[in-house]
Amino acid sequence: MTVIETDSLSKRYPGVTALDRLTVDIGPGVTGLVGANGAGKSTLIKILLGLAPASDGSARVLGRDSARDGSAIRERVGYMPEHDCLPPDVSATEFVVHMARMSGLPRTAARERTADTLRHVGLYEERYRPMGGYSTGMKQRVKLAQALVHDPELVLLDEPTNGLDPAGRDEMLGLIRRVHTDFGISVLVTSHLLGELERTCDHIVVIDGGKLLRSQATTGFTATIGSLAVEVTDTDAHPDGTAALRDALTAAGLTVAEEPGRLLLVELPPATDPNPSKPPTDPRVEPSGDTTPADGIRDAHDLVRDAVADLGLGLVRMEQRRHRIAEVFQQRPATPAAPDERKGATADVR
Ligand SMILES: Nc1ncnc2c1ncn2[C@@H]1O[C@H](COP(=O)(O)OP(=O)(O)OP(=O)(O)O)[C@@H](O)[C@H]1O
């Protein structure tokens, strides 16, 4: 099932191409839309909601054409805008009730839904105070509440962690995750911080300069590449044991990077099949003798163990690590990257 699909979607402003032939399918669940400032995230959201026309191509949201059926889409989709748009003189309750009424809820239902939604986002007594005195975190919560109040099937959240400190960001990301797990609402959440979506999203779409860089399940980002962290002791024969091991492993054909603290990172082969077009292996069929990723990982372990033993070094630790999303996007010239990794990304990877 597809929740959002775009087909060669382009948006041109005078002198700027905000979206450039973007074709992407997004399914249910929590999807992160990542890109540096100006990558085209807000533009995409506005087109999906039918609030801005595309220059070329098409977009469908919940099966409806965003160019023709904008108002029908907005009935079923909630939107949390990036910028502050809250009237300072009214309370969160008054504002969210108003938004619920605008969405067509009767008065009593609007009040009940508002109370439930504000409770869900963690606003209690403060909900009766004018919003002008709210902290950034409270304002972001009100913006999230008004996106949820009419019980949408999908919410589009534009930079919901903007302006929040690390603790506030974590809380907001937890809330966003619960929007899906507690209510079954699908979420598209934008951020220029690639790393923060790693724990929250099932799927990540990365855009840069309005173009699609990558669209992949979060596990795919982190599981396809890994490394073995190895630390060894020095000996009289090898006063720099780390360097000796690095040279031995490199000579054995492994790609090795050195980290501060005498740690060597040995690249492992992909742990999952990086080529999704390849048919899955039938588990009932005996292995044909071809090497698999698991074989490659075992071989790397064996090579490290043997090299350490041959050099007579002490092995302090050898542990497998999965890369975090942010690392996947850092340039790693020592490793021949898969074609779509080679495109690189300009998203902020803090
Ligand atoms: N109304 C507009 N008129 C002209 N240019 C625009 C307009 N809206 C957006 N742009 C330009 O289109 C590009 C994409 O902007 P967009 O706001 O979609 O990016 P973004 O990824 O959401 O970034 P940010 O997080 O900084 O808002 C930018 O170069 C921006 O300056």
Section 29-45 average pLDDT: 92
pLDDT of residue 281 exceeding 60, the answer is: no
Which CATH number is 226-322's, of 2.60.40, 1.10.1740, 3.30.70, 3.30.2320? 3.30.70
The predicted model gives 336-349 an average pLDDT of: 36
Q: What is the pLDDT of residues 144-201, one digit of tens each?
A: 999 999 999 999 999 999 989 888 999 999 999 999 999 999 999 999 877 778 778 9
- CB count within 10 Å of CB 14 equals 4
> Start-end ranges of CATH 3.40.50.300 in the chain?
4-221
Give the integer Cα–Cα distance in Å for 102 and 98: 6
Q: State if residue 43 touches ligand 1 by the CB under 6 angstroms criterion.
A: yes
Give the ligand 1 atom nearest the CA of 19.
14
In the reported structure, the alpha carbon of residue 132 is separated from the centroid of ligand 1 by a whole-number distance in angstroms of 27
Helices in the chain by DSSP H: which ranges?
41-48, 70-76, 92-102, 107-120, 136-148, 166-183, 218-223, 241-251, 293-311, 325-328, 339-342
Q: Is 160 in the pocket of ligand 1 (CB under 6 A)?
A: no
Helix (H, G, I), strand (E, B) or coil at 122: coil
Tens of pLDDT, residue by residue over 44-100, are: 999 999 999 999 999 999 999 999 999 999 999 999 999 888 999 999 999 999 999
* Residue nearest atom 5 of ligand 1, based on CA coordinates: 13
CATH topology of domain 4-221: Rossmann fold (3.40.50)
Within the chain, all domains assigned CATH 3.30.70 are found at 226-322
| Complex confidence, ipTM | 0.96
